[in-house]
Structure formats: structure tokens, C-alpha cells
Amino acid sequence: MRAGVDSGDIDWASIALIRPEVVSVIEATAFSGIAYLYMAVCFYVMFAGLILLYTIADDYWATARGSDLGTSHKGDVPRKILHGLFRCSVLGMLMAICMVVQGRFLSSDASDVWVWLFTDIATLWLGPPPTPSEVGYGFAVHYLSMIVALPTCAVMTFGIIRVRVPNAIVFRMATALLVVFLAYLLVGAFPGFAVLLAVAMFLGVYGLVDPDYSILGKQRAPEERRAS
């Protein structure tokens, strides 16, 4: 079901009013309640995890502050903490991207999300279509995705500040997360955005396997090899 030009966001509960023979009001209400309960549980788990990650980074900083700060960036502990922070941040951003992509696709006239993305890539050499493919876009999904993206990036930023690891690793992590965040913000913003989205997805998925992005480094330091 697509949103019309003036219909705004898609609301499955309105089907009960428009097509009562398809679904009754009671069924639509029950389905909405279950869906929102599921969303509430997911947000609770997400924020509980972010609070836990924030606490781990803050506790490490408080512990390292009382030790030799010159060696606080050495060893496996800070690297493992930052790896966990980065993986959770990337997963959060990938979920936010999926939310925005779904909202943009549902507001278009494309028959399939992959067709929509490949059509966008084709605009790089074929030019934009004569008529816009989007028939209307509500911003509620985008705002909801920001609830996922902004706290996730904030916790990762806090972890980078508190947990000391070699600067080269921090730079690669921060750059990759910035690319993913920009791809999230620019979904559907310009023709050919799918290319940036593909690059961001590759960096994000690869970062789950190798948070250090050691493939971008010339040679890993001995302590980096031991930590991996």
C-alpha cells in the first residue's frame, strides 16, 4: 500500500475505516497495540544497551585515570571496549538506515525496493526521470530513526573520548561511522544517493568483522596484532 500525495505517513489502522470488510476496528486496534508494544520493547532494549555501553566506557575512564595515563591506551581491554562500542554503533546506524530506506521506498511508486535503488543508481548515467518517483514522504519515520541514530552516535563519541586507543584506529573508526551517518542523512536527498548508501553499508558490515579496518592500514603494529 502506498501513501498518496496528501496522505502523509502510512497508517495501517486507517484500513479499518476505509475497508472495514478487510479488517475490523477491533482487529486493527489489537494489531496496532501489539506492534507498538514490540517497538517499545525494542527501544527499551536498545537504550538499556546504550546505557550499559556508556557505563562501561565511563568506568574504564575512571579506573584508568587513577593509573598511568601514559600506558592507558595499551593492552587488550581498551581496544575490546571500543570494538564493542563501535559494533553496537554500526548496528544501530544500519537499523536507522533501514528505517529511512523503508519510509522513502513506501512513498515512491516503485514496485520493489531493489528496483527503486537500482533506478536511482541508473540516474547517474541516464539522468533523472521526467517525473519524480516519490509521491509523498512523511517525516515521522525519519524522526523516529533519529531516536536510534543520535543516541547511538553520542555513545560512540563518548567512548572515543574516554577510551584511549591508538589514534590511527580511532580515525578509521570515526571516519567509517561518519560515512554511515552521512548516508543515513542523505537517503533520497539527491539522485545517485544509492551509491553512497552502498559504500556506507559495505563499511558498516566490514566494520562488524574488523572494527580496526586494518585493511586500510599499511602495517598493523605489534600490539594491534596481539589485540586481534
Tally of structural domains, the chain: 1
Range of the domain at 203: 12-227
The crossing angle, in degrees rounded to 10, of helices 76-106 and 193-209 is: 150
Q: How many CB atoms lie within 10 A of CB 49?
A: 15
Give the pLDDT mean for 114-124: 83
207 in a domain, yes or no? yes
Confidence at 41, pLDDT banded by 50, 70, 90 = very high
Is the pLDDT score of 125 beyond 70? yes
- Tens-digit pLDDT profile for residues 130-178: 555 554 555 566 788 888 899 999 999 998 888 888 788 889 999 999 9
The percent of residues in the chain predicted with pLDDT above 90, rounded, is: 25
- E strand or H helix that includes residue 14: none
